[in-house]
């Protein structure tokens, strides 16, 4: 049975098979959830990210890659780069954001992950409007889970009460 839920809190504390990181293309850590995951997970995450960038170049928007989780209670970290709202038109933003969720779930399934926690991708410094991002996120995850069914649980981890309310309304409807 598949399950989608929401919670307000710190994604770095969840004991799931994979947490998703809202990364930058350099996979270098940074602010927001990206910085929190790198700080809590320790140096192994950055080392693996740097090795990936050396081998493949920058991680394109909408794509995903996976590393070990280091000191996190999660089993792995899936890094994905969300769109910067101001850089694209609405349709392209929606397509790129949906790709973040689809590619992250595909990578989770390929790596045997049955539970995945997502942050609110692109809604921080990347400026994606919160409600619009949530509609894309929830719709994409529901469609993916209905079509592929290889991940049993997805948790949307919201960093504040406003996002939690938005996601909860969409997940429960």
- Detail the DSSP E strand segments found in 82-145: 115-118
| Span 47-70, average pLDDT | 97
Residues in the chain: 173
% of the chain exceeding 70 in pLDDT: 98
Among 88, 92, 97, 134, smallest CA distance to 22 is for 97
C-beta atoms surrounding 127 within 10 Å: 14
Residue 148 pLDDT level (bands cut at 50, 70, 90): confident
What does pLDDT average to over the chain? 95
Q: Which CATH class is domain 3-172?
A: alpha beta
Residue 31 pLDDT level (bands cut at 50, 70, 90): confident
What are the residue boundaries of the structural domains of the chain, listed by start? 3-172
Residue 151 in this model has a pLDDT that exceeds 60: yes
Residue 2 in this model has a pLDDT that exceeds 80: no
Residue 65 bridge partners (DSSP)? 79
Write down the pTM of the prediction.
0.95
User: pLDDT per residue over 85-135, tens digit each?
Assistant: 999 999 999 999 999 999 999 999 999 999 999 999 999 899 999 999 999
Assess whether 143 carries a catalytic annotation. Answer: no
Q: pLDDT higher for 159 or 120?
A: 120
From the list 10, 17, 34, 152, the catalytic residue is 34
Residue 1 pLDDT level (bands cut at 50, 70, 90): very low
């Amino acid at each position: 049975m598949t399950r989608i839920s929401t919670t307000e809190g710190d994604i770095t504390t969840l004991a799931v098979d994979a947490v998703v990181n809202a990364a930058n293309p350099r996979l270098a850590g940074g602010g927001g959830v990206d910085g929190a995951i790198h700080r809590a997970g320790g140096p192994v995450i950055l080392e693996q990210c740097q090795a990936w960038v050396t081998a493949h170049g920058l991680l394109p928007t909408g794509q995903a890659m996976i590393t070990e989780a280091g000191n996190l209670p999660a089993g792995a970290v899936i890094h994905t780069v969300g769109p910067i709202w101001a850089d694209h038109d609405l349709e392209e933003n929606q397509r790129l954001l949906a790709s973040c969720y689809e590619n992250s779930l595909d990578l989770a399934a390929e790596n045997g992950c049955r539970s995945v926690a997502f942050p609110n991708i692109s809604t921080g410094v990347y400026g994606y409007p919160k409600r619009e991002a949530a509609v894309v996120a929830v719709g994409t995850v529901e469609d993916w889970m209905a079509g592929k069914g290889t991940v049993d649980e997805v948790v949307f981890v919201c960093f504040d009460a406003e996002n939690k309310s938005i996601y909860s309304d969409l997940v429960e409807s």
